[in-house]
Amino acid sequence: MTAAAAADRPEIPAARFGERLASASALAVDRGVDGVLVGVGADLRYLTGYRALPLERLTMLVVRPLGAPVLVAPRLEALPARSCPAAASGALEVMTWSETDDPIALVVRLVGGAHRLAVSDRLWAMFVLRLQTALSGVAFSLASPILQELRIVKDADEVALLRLAAGAADRAMEGILRGRLVGRTEADVSREIGERLVAEGHETVEFAIVGSGPNSASPHHDPGERVIRAGEPVLFDIGGTLAGYSSDITRMAWITGGNEQAGPDADYRRLYDVLQGAQAAAAAAARPGIAAERVDAIARERIAAAGHGDHFIHRIGHGIGLEGHEEPYLVAGNALPLREGMAFSVEPGIYLEGRYGARIEDIVVCGSDGPRVLNEVPRGLRLVGG
Amino acid sequence: MTAAAAADRPEIPAARFGERLASASALAVDRGVDGVLVGVGADLRYLTGYRALPLERLTMLVVRPLGAPVLVAPRLEALPARSCPAAASGALEVMTWSETDDPIALVVRLVGGAHRLAVSDRLWAMFVLRLQTALSGVAFSLASPILQELRIVKDADEVALLRLAAGAADRAMEGILRGRLVGRTEADVSREIGERLVAEGHETVEFAIVGSGPNSASPHHDPGERVIRAGEPVLFDIGGTLAGYSSDITRMAWITGGNEQAGPDADYRRLYDVLQGAQAAAAAAARPGIAAERVDAIARERIAAAGHGDHFIHRIGHGIGLEGHEEPYLVAGNALPLREGMAFSVEPGIYLEGRYGARIEDIVVCGSDGPRVLNEVPRGLRLVGG
C-alpha cells in the first residue's frame, strides 16, 4: 500500500475521544462505579486513541466520575502518551512514573476513597491482584458492562474502517484462491496469506488458518507441514487489523489439480450447499430488533434439518471492531436485540471429524433496514486447478 | 525462508514438557499452593508447547500437586489442544467444553478443595474475577514466583532458538542499514522492517521502532509520517518471535545523505562514544554471581560521569525468551545474582528531549565464564549516505 492510500484513510476525529471519555464517565456514575481502570488494549484505544505497547510497565487510564480522566504511563513512553488524540486535544491528562517508582501507588492515589472500581476485561492478573492488595476494601468488577455499551454500536467512521479492513482481506483471499496451492504446505500458504494481508495495508496479522483435507474439520487448525493435494477441500480463515479495526473472512476451496475426477464428492457438494444456504439465510436476517441468538438459530435449524446438527459445533458469530472477537456474541442464550451499527461475523460451519469440513464467514453490519455485508469474495465452493 | 530451513530448526523435545509440568507441580507444593491456573500465553507454551489463540473462550492449564495436569480447552480447538507436545506425549489430559457450557465451573471442579491458587501473570481480568467469584474462599496469588523459577534459566535448546531469532533480526537490521532511508517516512521504513523480519523467519513482528531526528529521544516512539532527512540520527529498535522465541536489537544510524557536512555533530559523537563504551562494559560484566542491578549500575556510572545521568531514563535491560520482556529485569533494586543460562537485553540509552537520542541493544546470555552476545551487527554509529 502506498503512503498516499494510507493518508486517504478515514480517521476517528480527535474530538470524539473526549466524547467517549465523557460517556464512559457518565455510564460509570449510572452503574454506581467510582472509577474505571483501563489497561493497554482495545478499550484504551477506543477511549483515547492511544496505541500503547502491551508491556509489563503499567499504562493505565483512570476514568473518574468526579474528576478529569488521567492516563498513567511510564516515563519512557511520555511522548507517545502525550501525543495520543485524547491527550493532544486536551481531554486527558498524562501522569508519568519513573523506572523505580511504584505505578500502582499512583493509581491508588488517583482513586482515593473509591468503594467500587471496574477494570478492563483484558487487564493482566499481575495488575489486578496488585490493585486488589493495595485497595483491600474495594469491590472490583469488570468494565465491559460499561465500555461495551459504548463499543458495541459502531459509528459511521468505524464502519468505514471495518469496510476498509474487509476489502483488504478480500483482496488477500482472492490472491490466494487464484494462486498455486497443490504441493505446498499449509504453513507455507499461511505465511503467504500473512504477507498479502500486510501488503494490502494490515498492520497486524492475527490468524491465517489453512486447514487442508481432514484438517478442514478442525475449526481453529494450526497450519502445519501437511502438503495440500488434489481431491480435498482447504479452509482459509484469515484476519488482522487495519488502522486498528479487524478483518475476518473464511472461504473454502476444493483442489482439483486440473483433474475433473478429483472434484468434490456428492456428500461434500450437498454439505456445502446446505452450509451456503444457512449462511445466506442467517446473514439476511440481521436487522434491528432481532435477537442475537435468533441469527444463530436460523442457520442451525437449516443445518440440523439436513442431518448435520451435531457437526455445527460453535456459535454462528462474534462481534468485531477494535478486537477480533467482542460483543455482541451470536450464540444460544444471548437474547440481546441487534441495533443499527452493530458489526459481527456470520460464520456457520459443518465439520465431519477425521474426514473434512467447511465454513463460510462474512462480516456483517446491522443497517437500519437490514444487513450490510462487508465481504465481497464469492461464497460458492471455489474449484482450484493448480 | 525456505521450508527446508524451517525443518532444520532446533526443537524443544516433546519429553521436556512433561518434565516442566512435573517441576511446576513440585514447586507449587514447595510454595504451599494447591493449584496453578495458566491461561493462554508464554507460560502455557513453556509448560505444554501449546500455541493457543488468545481469545475470549477459556483455555486453561490446571496444574495440581495432587493430580495429573489437565488442559481445559474449547471443543472447537480440541484437535490442536490434543496435538500439543505435552498432550501428544501423554503428559497432559485435555478436557473440552462446548459452546454453551460454563468453563469456569469445569476449572472449579478440577481444583475442588483448594485454599490457595496461583494464576498466570497475564491471565485476563475477565477470567480472574470470575474465578474469584466462583471460588470465594480461595486466596489468589501470581504464578510468576513458581513459573519464573523455571523459565528464567534457558536450556541449550532455548539458547539455540534465541540465537536463531537474534541472527534473523541481525539480517533484517543489516538490510535496513544498507538500504535507502532519506526521504522515506518512519512508518514506511517500519513496514519494511516488519516484512524483513518475516522474510527472515519470524512468525510475528512485535515492534519496529523507527525514531528519526528528535523522535530518537523518545525511547518507545511510535513510527509516523515524519520524513527522514540528512543531518540527523535514526534509532531502529526491532523484534518479534521466531519459533516462539523473541528477538530484540537496537542500532543507530546517522543520515549523511552523502554529504560530508551533514555528519554527526561533536556533541552527538561524544554522546555516542560514551554510550557505546557503557554498553560494552555492562555486557562484558555479565557472568554468574553478579547482581542484576550491578549490570545496570556499571553503565549508569559511566554515563553519569559523562554528564548524562539524567538522560538515561530507563533500566538497562530485561530478560527475554518466550516473552519479549520477562525476568530477570536488570534494574536498580534487583539484587538477584545472574546464573548461567539467563538471557537478557543490555540496552543503555541517552536521550536529549527535543533534540536527539541514542540507544544500543544486544541480547546477551550469561555463560559459565562470561557473556555470550547473540547479536553481531557492528555497534558503531552507522553513517548512511542514501
| Cell representation of residue B362 | 544486544
Distance between CA atoms of residues A1 and B243, nearest Å:
28
How many angstroms separate the Cα of A295 from the Cα of each of A364, A366, B53, B244?
12, 12, 25, 38
Q: Choose the mutation target among A37, A56, A331 for the interface with B, i.e. most B CBs under 10 Å.
A: A56
Q: For residue B23, how many other CB atoms are within 10 A of its CB?
A: 15
As a whole number, mean pLDDT of residues B353-381 equals 98
The identity of residue B165, as a single letter, is A
Centroid of chain to Cα A228: 28
Joined grid coordinates for residue B253 = 544510524
**Rounded CA separation B11/B17 (Å):** 12
pLDDT at B185 over 50: yes
Question: Shortest CA distance to B316 belongs to which of B297, B301, B303?
Answer: B297
pLDDT in tens, B85-111: 999 999 999 999 999 899 999 999 999
pLDDT at A218 (0 to 100): 96
Beta strand ranges found along A199-348 (DSSP E): 204-212, 232-242, 245-246, 249-255, 317-319, 326-330, 343-346
Please list the residues that pair with B319 across neighbouring strands.
B326, B344
pLDDT at position B4: 39
Strands B70-74 and A116-119: unpaired
- Region B188-198: mean pLDDT is 94
In single-letter form, the type of residue at position B313 comes to I
Residues from chain A contacting residue B99 (CB–CB below 8 Å): 313-315, 331-332
The mean pLDDT of chain B is 95
Give the type of residue at A277: G
Contact assessment for residue B224 and residue B264, using Cβ atoms and an 8 Å cutoff:
no
- Please answer yes or no on whether A98 and B313 come within 8 Å at the CB atom: yes
Q: Which residues of B287-303 are buried (b: 16+ CB within 10 A; e: fewer)?
A: eeeeebbbbbbbbbebb
**Total residue length of chain A:** 386
Q: Judge if B250 and B190 occupy the same domain.
A: yes
Residues 6+ apart with CB under 8 A from A16: A155, A157
Distance CA A337, CA A272 (A): 29
B124 contacts A122? CB cut-off 8 A = yes
Interface contact A331-B99, CB threshold 8 A: yes
Determine the Cα–Cα distance for residues A356 and A232; give it in Å rounded to an integer. 8
Search chain B and give the residue with CA nearest A40. B124
Is A3 in contact with B225 (Cβ distance < 8 A)?
A: yes
Question: CATH number of the domain that A58 lies in?
Answer: 3.40.350.10
CA proximity to B340, closest of B186, B208, B158: B158
To the nearest whole Å, the CA of B121 is away from the closest chain A CA by 5
Contact B77 A120 (CB under 8 A): no
Mind telling me how many Å the CA of A261 is from chain B's nearest CA? 30
Angle (nearest 5°) at CA B319 between B318 and B321: 135
d(CA B96, CA B137): 26
Contact B220, A77 (CB under 8 A): yes
- Nearest chain B residue to A84 by CA distance is B222
Residues of chain B positioned with their CB less than 8 A from the CB of A207: 53
Cβ contact, residue pair A128, B125, below 8 Å: yes
Let me know whether B147 and B163 are in one domain.
no
- Judgement on whether residues B328 and B348 belong to the same structural domain of the protein: yes
* Total of domains in chain A: 2
Contact B76 A3 (CB under 8 A): no
On whether both A136 and A91 belong to a single domain, the answer is yes
CATH number at residue B173: 3.90.230.10
- Which domain range does residue B58 map to? 3-151
Distance to chain A for B304, nearest Cα, Å: 16
CA atoms within 13 A on the CB side of B91: 23
B194 chain-A contacts, CB cut-off 8 A: 198
Query: Does residue A317 share a domain with residue A240?
Result: yes
Going by pLDDT thresholds of 50, 70 and 90, the confidence category of residue B222 is: very high
**Domain boundary at A108, A132, A151, which?**
A151
Label residue B80 by pLDDT band (50, 70, 90): very high
Q: What is the pLDDT of residues B361-372, one digit of tens each?
A: 999 999 999 999
The C-alpha angle with vertex A377 and arms to A374 and A379, in degrees rounded to 5, equals 105
**Residues of chain A contacting residue B220, judged by C-beta atoms under 8 Å apart:** 53, 76-77, 80
Residues of A in contact with B119 (CB under 8 A): 125, 129
Q: In terms of domains, do B116 and B15 share one?
A: yes
* Residue-level pLDDT at B8: 64
In sequence order, the 6+-apart residues with CB closer than 8 A to the CB of B305 are none
Considering the domain architecture, whether residues A191 and A242 belong to the same structural domain is answered as yes
The shortest CB-CB distance from B333 to any of A100, A220, A315 is to A100
Q: Which of A122, A219, A315 sits opposite B125 (nearest CB)?
A: A122
CB B274 within 8 A of CB B308: yes
Assess contact for B312 and B219: CB atoms under 8 A. no
Nearest Cβ partner for B126 among A3, A122, A220:
A122
Residue from B82, B129, B334 whose CB has the most chain A CBs within 10 Å, to mutate: B129
Where a domain ends, among A93, A121, A151?
A: A151
Give yes or no: residues B139 and B166 share one domain: no
Q: Which residue is closest to A333 within chain B, CA to CA?
A: B100
Tell me how far apart the alpha carbons of residues B302 and B284 are, in angstroms, rounded to a whole number. Answer: 14
Contact A121/B122, CB-based, under 8 Å?
no
Q: How far apart are CA B300 and CA B275, in angstroms?
A: 10
Q: Judging by beta carbons within 10 Å of its beta carbon (0-12, 13-18, 19+), is residue A280 exposed, middle or buried?
A: middle
pTM score of the predicted model: 0.94
| Contact (CB<8Å) A100/B140 | no
Amino acid making up residue B373 = V
Shared domain check, A327 and A242: yes
Distance CA B239, CA B345 (A): 12
**A–B interface: beta-carbon pairs under 8 A:** 135
DSSP characters for B259-277? -GGGS--HHHHHHHHHHHH
Cβ contacts (< 8 Å) between A333 and chain B: which residues? 100
Same domain, B167 and B47: no
CA of A3: which chain B residue's CA is closest? B188
> Letter for the amino acid at A86?
A
Q: Is the pLDDT at B1 greater than 70, yes or no?
A: no
Q: Where are the beta strands (DSSP E) in A83-175?
A: 93-97, 116-119, 139-142
Q: Cis omega before residue B80 (within 30°)?
A: no
B373, B310 contact by CB (below 8 A): no
Dist. CA B367–CA A356, nearest whole Å:
50
Q: Is B237 exposed, middle or buried (0-12, 13-18, 19+ CB in 10 A)?
A: buried
| Residue in chain A nearest B51 by alpha carbon | A222
**Contact at CB, B98 and A53, closer than 8 angstroms:** no
Task: Indicate if B208 and B97 belong to the same structural domain.
Answer: no
- Give the chain B residue whose CA is nearest to the CA of A100: B332
Q: Among A99, A121, A151, which residue terminates a domain?
A: A151
Strand partners, A233: A254
From the CA of B351, how many Å to the nearest CA of chain A? 10
Query: Pick from B372, B97, B376: which is nearest to B249 by CA?
Result: B376
Q: For residue B123, list chain A residues with Cβ-Cβ distance below 8 A.
A: 124-125
Quick check: A372 and A165 in contact, CB under 8 A? no
Place of cell 514447586: B27
Place B2 in a pLDDT band, splitting at 50, 70 and 90: very low
Q: Calculate mean pLDDT across residues B113-137.
A: 97
pLDDT of residue B66 exceeding 90, the answer is no
**CA-atom Rg of chain A in angstroms:** 23
> Which letter does DSSP use for residue B231 in this model?
T
Residue-by-residue pLDDT tens, chain A, 386 positions: 333 345 567 789 999 999 999 999 999 999 999 999 999 999 999 999 999 989 899 999 999 988 899 999 999 999 999 999 999 999 999 999 999 899 999 999 999 899 999 999 999 999 999 999 999 999 999 999 999 999 999 999 999 999 999 999 999 999 999 999 999 999 999 999 999 999 999 988 999 999 999 999 999 999 999 999 999 999 999 999 999 999 999 999 999 988 888 999 999 999 999 999 999 999 999 999 999 999 999 999 999 999 999 999 999 999 999 999 999 999 999 999 999 999 999 999 999 999 999 999 999 999 999 999 999 999 999 999 98
- B328 cis-preceded (ω within 30 degrees of 0): yes
Closest-CA residue in chain A for B55?
A325
| B219 shares its domain with B325 | yes
Of B77, B120, B140, the CB nearest to A220: B77
- Chain A residue closest in CA terms to B83: A222
Distance from CA of B256 to the nearest CA of A (A): 24
Contacts of B142 in chain A (CB under 8 A): 125-126, 129
Residues forming beta bridges with residue B254, ordered by sequence position = B233, B383
Residue bearing cell 502455557: B44
**Chain B hits for A56, Cβ within 8 Å:** 318, 325
- Contact residues on chain A for B124, CB-CB shorter than 8 A: 121-125
For residues B374, B378, B384 and B386, what is the CA-based torsion angle, rounded to 10 degrees? -50
B260 CA to chain A: closest CA distance, Å? 30
Query: Dihedral, CA atoms, A15, A17, A19, A25, nearest 10 degrees?
Result: -150
Q: Which long-range contacts (CB under 8 A, 24 or more apart) does A286-290 make?
A: A286/A338, A286/A344, A286/A346, A286/A364, A286/A366, A286/A370, A286/A371, A287/A338, A287/A366, A287/A367, A287/A369, A287/A370, A287/A371, A288/A337, A288/A338, A288/A339, A288/A340, A288/A366, A288/A368, A289/A337, A289/A338, A290/A337, A290/A338
Contact A100 B75 (CB under 8 A): no
Q: Give residue A152's identity as a one-letter amino acid code.
A: I
Interface test with A, best of B121, B222, B225, B300 (most A CBs within 10 A): B222
- Name the residue among B83, B141, B218 with its Cβ closest to that of A129: B141
Residue B261 to chain A, least CA–CA distance (Å):
30
